């Protein structure tokens, strides 16, 4: 895999009007999501649900890639076709989450560091052979009294850089995800400050580790008021604060920024992306890599019932289409109704 190939994969993931579906929930997280619609989480129900997502008709109009979990990239559709092939046969790139989750950081109460570097080269090679074209590693940074600490930010940035370098070595495009969490009553200004410090540390580490930025994507949080903040910032303010923070800290060599939704409602996540793209051209593509904001309506429509699969797939298609419009700043509230 040459630098040029990594670059074209990264660019294809943020092709015009398209974004990424994050469907890489760990077993613990997908079990919570399925419990919210009273579906028991078994290997088979998880497979069935992920097959529904991957086989959504025409999703490739707005979805460039789907991030899968270890279990899913080894699973097949009912007709025996591996799910990764179901995706690639319609031009949607399969991706993989190779991290082992955010674990409590020793000596730093309330802070976490993402594990999974040991044996990562071999795992990434296997995932590539199973069809993955890109990876995603999520670090989480919490805001609270006295946190985040410099030690936590730097430990996570270091792990992200080691992961990104290994991905590029085996030919996968690394999506680098440092997520500043929404939890807390902090202001949008505090979120901006922490996000900027985190991104600066991440890009310093990527540089030290010789990661080729043109062959990467960034998956950040948007700059938002904390979930419990008494006066939460509106759409325009979020868009401006997010773009300002990113412009300060993300090199122009990065081809695209694909936001996580992080607990925003599906409509909020679309509105915010739309407002940013309506501000005009930026050095990078501004796109989406949503998990909950794309899947919530799907789960609600499906409810674990085979008879609802078509409706559930329509819900995914619709949400993807609206986010596709938000990539051009052309999303309107009226489009919500036109399901
Ligand atoms: P959310 O959009 O639900 O935050 O999920 C995105 C993701 O992949 C988190 O790692």
Confirm whether 114 is domain-assigned: yes
pTM of the model: 0.98
**Ligand 1 close to Cβ of residue 292 (< 6 A):** yes
- Coil, helix or strand at residue 177: strand
Q: What is the CATH number of the domain that holds 76?
A: 3.20.20.70
Structural domain count of the chain: 1
Confirm whether 27 is domain-assigned: yes
* 259 vs 327: CA distance, rounded Å: 11
**Cα-to-centroid distance, 279 and ligand 1 (Å):** 24
- The span from the first CA to the last CA of the chain, in angstroms, equals 41
Range 193-219 average pLDDT: 98
Q: Are 273 and 303 in contact (CB under 8 A)?
A: no
The residue range of the domain holding 156 is 3-331
Q: Please count the other Cβ atoms lying within 10 Å of the Cβ belonging to residue 197.
A: 16
User: Which ligand 1 atom sits closest to the C-alpha of 292?
Assistant: 3
Give residue 1's pLDDT band: very low, low, confident or very high (50, 70, 90). low
Give residue 338's pLDDT band: very low, low, confident or very high (50, 70, 90). confident
- 65 DSSP β-pair partners: 20, 93
pLDDT at residue 153 is higher than 80 = yes
Distance of CA 108 to the CA centre of its chain: 26
- pLDDT, residue 339, reads 59
Of the candidates 253, 160, 138, 254, the one whose C-alpha atom is nearest the C-alpha of residue 206 is 160
Helices (H), 91-215: 120-129, 150-170, 188-208
Please say if 219 is a catalytic residue: yes
Confirm whether 336 is domain-assigned: no
**Cα-to-centroid distance, 23 and ligand 1 (Å):** 8
Characterise 333 by phi-psi region: left (phi > 0), alpha (psi -120 to 50), beta (else): alpha
pLDDT at residue 242 is higher than 90 = yes
Confirm whether 172 is domain-assigned: yes
Confirm whether 152 is domain-assigned: yes
The string of pLDDT tens digits covering residues 131-144 is 999 999 999 999 99
Confirm whether 339 is domain-assigned: no
- Coil, helix or strand at residue 127: helix
- Residue to probe by mutation, ligand 1, list 134, 261, 299, 319, most atoms within 8 Å of CB: 261
């Amino acid at each position: 895999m040459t630098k040029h190939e990594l670059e074209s994969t990264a660019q294809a993931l943020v092709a015009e009007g398209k974004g990424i579906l994050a469907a890489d929930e760990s077993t613990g997280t997908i079990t919570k999501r399925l419990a919210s619609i009273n579906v028991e989480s078994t290997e088979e129900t998880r497979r069935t649900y992920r097959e529904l997502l991957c086989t959504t008709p025409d999703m490739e109009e707005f979805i460039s890639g789907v991030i899968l979990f270890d279990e899913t990239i080894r699973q097949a559709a009912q007709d025996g076709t591996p799910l990764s092939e179901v995706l690639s046969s319609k031009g949607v790139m399969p991706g993989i989450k190779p991290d082992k989750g955010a674990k409590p950081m020793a000596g730093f109460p309330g802070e976490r560091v993402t594990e999974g570097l040991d044996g990562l080269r071999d795992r990434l090679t296997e995932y590539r052979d199973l069809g993955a074209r890109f990876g995603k590693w999520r670090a989480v940074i919490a805001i609270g009294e006295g946190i985040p600490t410099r030690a936590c930010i730097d430990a996570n940035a270091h792990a992200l850089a080691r992961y990104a370098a290994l991905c590029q070595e085996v030919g996968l495009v690394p999506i680098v995800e440092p997520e500043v969490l929404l939890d807390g009553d902090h202001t949008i200004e505090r979120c901006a400050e922490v996000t900027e410090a985190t991104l600066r540390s991440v890009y310093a580490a990527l540089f030290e580790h010789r990661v080729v930025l043109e062959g990467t994507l960034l998956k950040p949080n948007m700059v938002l008021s904390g979930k419990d903040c008494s006066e939460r910032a509106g759409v325009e303010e979020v868009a401006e604060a997010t773009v300002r923070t990113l412009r300060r800290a993300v090199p122009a060599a990065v081809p695209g920024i694909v936001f996580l939704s992080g607990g925003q409602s599906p409509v909020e996540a679309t509105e915010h992306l739309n407002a940013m793209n309506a501000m005009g051209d930026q050095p990078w593509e501004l796109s989406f890599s949503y998990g909950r904001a794309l899947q919530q309506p799907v789960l609600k429509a499906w409810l674990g019932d085979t008879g609802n699969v078509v409706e559930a797939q329509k819900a995914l298609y619709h949400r993807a289409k609206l986010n596709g419009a938000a990539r051009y700043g052309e999303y309107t509230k009226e489009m919500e109704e036109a399901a």
